[in-house]
Amino acid sequence: MLLDRYIAPKIDRLLALFPIVAIIGPRQCGKSTLSRQIRPDWRYYDLENPADYRLVSEDPLAFFQLHPEHLIIDEIQQYPGLFGILRGVIDQGRGIKNRFILTGSASPHLVKGISDSLAGRIATVELAPFKQGERFQRPFTPLYERLIDGTTQAGDLATLAPVVSPLQSMQCWFQGGFPEPVLQTGEHPEFLSLWMENYIANYIDRDVRALFPRLNIHRFRRLLTLLAQFSGHQINMSAIARALEVTVPTVKDYLDIIHQTFIWRNLPPYTGNPLKKVQKADKGWFRDPGLLHHQLKIPSLDALQLHPVAGFSFESFVSEELIRGLQATLATQIDFHYYRTQDRSEVDLVIDGPFGTLPVEIKLASQIRRQSLRGLSRFIQEMRCAYGILVNRGPRIEQLTERIVQIPVHYL
């Protein structure tokens, strides 16, 4: 079953503006499926298919003479030399748009090829696993367009409607959003755990080993298990290094690898408040909560809600929902941070863009004590934000204070 993706209209618009659009993201998140949905009549070549690889690589100049446009080239990182050839092909008809879709999982070759060879000729979008509304095929909420509108005030969010039901939202939190297990788990409940087990093994043995052949795979596997305990926290490099019996620079390299391959997100601190001394360590989490919960051997939604990691996991899930929603818009120059001062005042997610600075506090509870809003209120005042958002499991949108609005997670 093919499901519509929120980012599809953005890709369609970018193809009208650029000759090439690259869709990047983790394996099995739907990049190939989406590219073929968007342009079903284009020729499709998968560079992980030996026959397609030979056809493209044996004489790439002749290949592009025969196929100068309307091509989907999947897993482009398998043939890094193709980037330079594509640059020449594009430059021969620089004004022609809507010519190629490239897809790929992140790798040094992919990043270098896009930045060095195709700069100015290509638009890049990141595709993630399903948002909760995509899983249940609900329309894209107007929330994100309102967030990037610099004139929006807290009261303007009151008319939003829920995207999914509270139970559906909790299912997405527990299971994550990778398309294949999500679509099959209903009929085969055991499939989710089996799929996750094989996904992690293939990620390590196939992707990581191929991209970084000198890497100590045994230690890297231990890192993934260890990081499940750190997900949602500030990253203590020294503690991880001691546990793995490696150096801190090695831990930094490992974290960079799993960040670049879209398994983990490193979130930097927000340092824009000159009035406070802020903590400088990055925070990090598994981008897909299903992967996290599998690593922690959490068997059900009920067990998750009683688990010590529940609050941190929920915070990461909400942050990813917000990030993916904003990435589906045409807004640019949006940065994501967290904020924590030396005196423990904190904001879980700070969204910074041309529209201003938007602080977001995330709480697992459905009812909030005013005292827990103290850090958010202080940040809004000190940074002169138009408003801030509290995301929780409440029943409805509510105006909590003049400049703080509660938006339940199932509205995202």
Task: Take residue 184 and report the two structure tokens written for it.
Answer: 């099959």
257-312 pLDDT per residue, tens: 888 889 999 999 998 877 678 888 999 999 999 999 999 999 999 999 999 999 99
CA quadruple 148, 149, 155, 156: dihedral sign: negative
Token pair belonging to 315: 């915070």
φ/ψ of residue 14, rounded to 5: -65, -35
The residue type of 267 is L
Q: Of 160, 169, 163, 167, which Cα lies nearest the Cα of 397?
A: 160
Angle 411-326-154 from CA coordinates, rounded to 5°: 55
Percent of the chain scoring above 70 in pLDDT: 97
**Nearest-angstrom CA–CA distance, 231 and 228:** 5
Residue 47, CA atoms < 13 Å, CB-side half-sphere: 20
- Domain layout of the chain by residue ranges: 8-126, 132-411
CATH superfamily of the domain spanning 8-126: P-loop containing nucleotide triphosphate hydrolases (3.40.50.300)
Q: Can you tell me the distance from the alpha carbon of 12 to that of 98, in angstroms, rounded to the nearest whole number?
A: 9
pLDDT at residue 344 is higher than 90: no
* Cross-strand bridge partners of residue 267: 283
Q: Are strands 398-401 and 404-408 parallel, antiparallel or unpaired?
A: antiparallel
Tell me, what's the pLDDT at 108?
Answer: 60
d(CA 228, CA 226) in angstroms, rounded, equals 5
| Angle 139-145-146 from CA coordinates, rounded to 5° | 115
DSSP letter, residue 99: -
pLDDT on residue 395? 95
Pairwise CA distance, residues 253 & 262, whole Å: 14
Q: Which helix (H) or strand (E) holds 261?
A: none
DSSP readout, 369-397? -GGGGHHHHHHHHHHT-S-EEEEES-SS-
Q: Average pLDDT of the chain? A: 92
Is residue 164 classed as helix, strand or coil in its secondary structure?
Answer: coil
pLDDT score at 107:
63
pLDDT digits (tens, 9 = 90+) for 54-106: 999 999 999 999 999 999 999 988 888 898 899 999 999 888 999 999 998 86
Q: Where residue 4 falls among pLDDT bands split at 50, 70, 90?
A: very high
- Would you state the pLDDT for residue 2? 81
Rounded to a whole number of angstroms, the distance between the first and last alpha carbons of the chain is 24
Residues 200-240 pLDDT 10s: 988 887 778 777 778 888 888 899 999 999 999 999 999 99
Q: Looking at residue 304, what is its pLDDT?
A: 97
- Alpha-carbon gap, residue 64 to 88, rounded angstroms: 10
